[in-house]
């Protein structure tokens, strides 16, 4: 790795830590330079503004989230067990320390920058990258009966976020205080009650 690339990485790491601790608004480029053990000029050579630096952190986050293994529909396996595997994978992502850390940084910034919400909503990560196709194949195989695939995919994921991700993010619950297995099972049961083909 070239020295300039290593410096850039150090700046991103330092900025992410400071944004997490102080919020994007309160972290300064001086603080970021000091934490990255770089000159302020070096920081500005890589990132001309703090907003540009924040966007680079978001881009890196989405790139790191993009390695989620795609689960493809298998007609020979029970639909419930396949949905369970997708839900477990999604919950593992949503409750990971890295994801919660970035979510906290981002949510704080969205209050200052409402347009950011739309930008983030347009980025598909986790199972949302493939869940629509999975449900469509299950539909075609007559395992599910769904009229609006996009809505059903969001319904599946938003239920997990509502019962698991947001309570942990806001500090109402912890990973250990929630019965995650039970939540997943109940959500899948409700989903299949609505969409399983008769």
Are residue 54 and residue 113 in the same domain, yes or no?
no
Count helices and strands (H / E) in the chain: 11, 0
User: What integer pLDDT is reported at residue 119 of this predicted model?
Assistant: 63
* Residue 126 and residue 33 share a domain: no
- The average pLDDT across 120-147 equals 89
Q: What is the mean pLDDT of the chain?
A: 89
On whether both 108 and 150 belong to a single domain, the answer is yes
Both 112 and 170 in a single domain? Answer: yes
| Per-residue confidence band for 66, with pLDDT thresholds at 50, 70 and 90 | low
Contact 153, 132 (CB under 8 A): yes
From residue 22, give the alpha-carbon distance in Å to each of 19, 104, 189. Answer: 5, 11, 41
CATH code: domain of residue 169 = 1.10.357.10
Summarised one tens digit per residue, pLDDT across range 4-55 is 788 999 999 999 899 888 888 888 999 999 999 999 999 999 999 988 898 8
The residue among 29, 61, 93 that closes a domain is: 61
pLDDT value of residue 108 = 75
Give me the domain span that covers residue 49. Answer: 3-61
69 or 68, greater pLDDT = 69
Tell me the pLDDT tens digit for each residue of 88-120.
Answer: 999 999 999 888 888 888 887 777 776 666 666
Question: For residue range 40-54, what is the model confidence (pLDDT) as tens digits?
Answer: 999 999 999 988 898
Number of domains the chain contains:
2
Given this model, what pLDDT does residue 62 score?
A: 75
Same domain, 29 and 89: no
The more confident residue out of 140 and 123 is 140
Q: Judge whether residue 58 has pLDDT over 90.
A: no
Higher pLDDT, 83 or 63: 83
DSSP category for residue 165 = I
Digit-coded pLDDT (tens) for 166-194? 999 989 999 899 999 999 999 999 999 99
42 and 103 fall within a common domain: no
- The verdict on 106 and 82 lying in the same domain is yes
End of a domain among 61, 81, 106? 61
Residue 16 CB contacts under 8 Å (≥ 6 apart), including other chains: 57, 101, 102, 105
Nearest to 30 by CA among 19, 21, 22, 39: 39
- Taking the CA atoms of residue 159, residue 162, residue 168 and residue 173 in that order, the dihedral angle to the nearest 10 degrees is -100
Say yes or no: 106 and 159 in one domain. Answer: yes
Considering the domain architecture, whether residues 83 and 8 belong to the same structural domain is answered as no
End residue of a domain, out of 61, 89, 106: 61
User: What percentage of residues in the chain have a pLDDT greater than 90?
Assistant: 61
Residue 21: per-residue pLDDT: 86
């Amino acid at each position: 790795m070239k020295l300039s690339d290593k410096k850039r990485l150090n700046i991103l790491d330092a900025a992410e830590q400071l944004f997490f601790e102080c919020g994007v608004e309160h972290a300064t480029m001086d603080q970021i330079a000091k934490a990255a053990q770089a000159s302020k000029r070096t920081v500005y050579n890589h990132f001309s503004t703090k907003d540009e630096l924040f966007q680079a952190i978001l881009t890196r986050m989405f790139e790191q989230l993009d390695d989620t293994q795609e689960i493809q529909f298998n007609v020979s396996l029970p639909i419930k067990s396949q949905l369970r595997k997708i839900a477990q994978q999604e919950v593992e992502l949503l409750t990971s320390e890295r994801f919660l850390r970035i979510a906290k940084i981002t949510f704080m910034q969205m209050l200052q920058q409402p347009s950011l919400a739309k930008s983030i909503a347009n980025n598909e990560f986790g199972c949302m990258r493939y869940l629509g196709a999975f449900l469509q194949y299950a539909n075609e195989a007559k395992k599910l009966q769904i009229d609006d695939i996009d809505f059903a995919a969001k319904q599946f994921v938003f239920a997990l976020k509502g019962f698991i991700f947001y309570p942990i993010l806001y500090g109402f619950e912890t990973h250990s205080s929630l019965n995650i297995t039970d939540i997943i099972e109940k959500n899948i049961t409700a989903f299949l009650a609505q969409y399983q083909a008769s």
